[in-house]
Amino acid sequence: MANPMDTKGVFSNLLTEGEFISRIKYELKRAERYRIFLSLAIFNFGPVVDMAGNGSFETEEDRARFMNQINEVVKDSVREIDAVSNTNHIKVGLLMPETSRQGAEAVAQRLAGTLTGYCSDYFGKPDGFLIPIEISSFPDASGAKSIASYLEELTGPE
């Protein structure tokens, strides 16, 4: 697993894609071994970009800058032990160790409100943004996909 310490020795929960995948693997093994909760939330900003961003993003750098700012909002809104994927993709992953599905749902709803407000301010448009969220938890199997399934999507079959 990548070292969660950045170059200044301060804990960072904003991880590159490779570090995020490594963290998911580590936390999933830990959850299975100790039978503790683990939750993963995926926030999809595709509808936001489609609804408001097309005219605002003249270049790929504009979209990447927006997604980096979204990552910072998520990072600043969660616990230090949570991991946030730091990619320029249209989806943001949030890994929440020792968090049940119900806890993850509460965090996701709170965070969705924060992100909707941020998007409204960013694009100068009233609320109405839809940010779809998928949640998967271990050992809870009520989600559409397992955390292992998400991991396989990110890494490809092993």
Q: Does residue 56 belong to any structural domain of this protein?
A: yes
The verdict on residue 108 lying in a domain is: yes
Q: Mean pLDDT score of the chain, rounded to an integer?
A: 84
| Residue 140 in domain | yes
* pTM of the predicted structure, to 2 decimals: 0.85
- Tell me whether residue 101 is in a domain: yes
102: CATH: 3.30.70.270
The number of domains in the chain is: 1
Peptide bond into 139 cis (omega under 30): yes
Q: Is the pLDDT of residue 1 over 70?
A: no
In the chain, % of residues over pLDDT 90: 51
Domain ranges, residue 59: 14-155
pLDDT tens digit sequence for 38-57: 999 999 998 888 887 656 77
pLDDT tens per residue across span 116-145: 999 989 888 876 788 999 999 998 766 567
Residue partners of 57: CB distance under 8 A and separation at least 6:
49, 63, 66
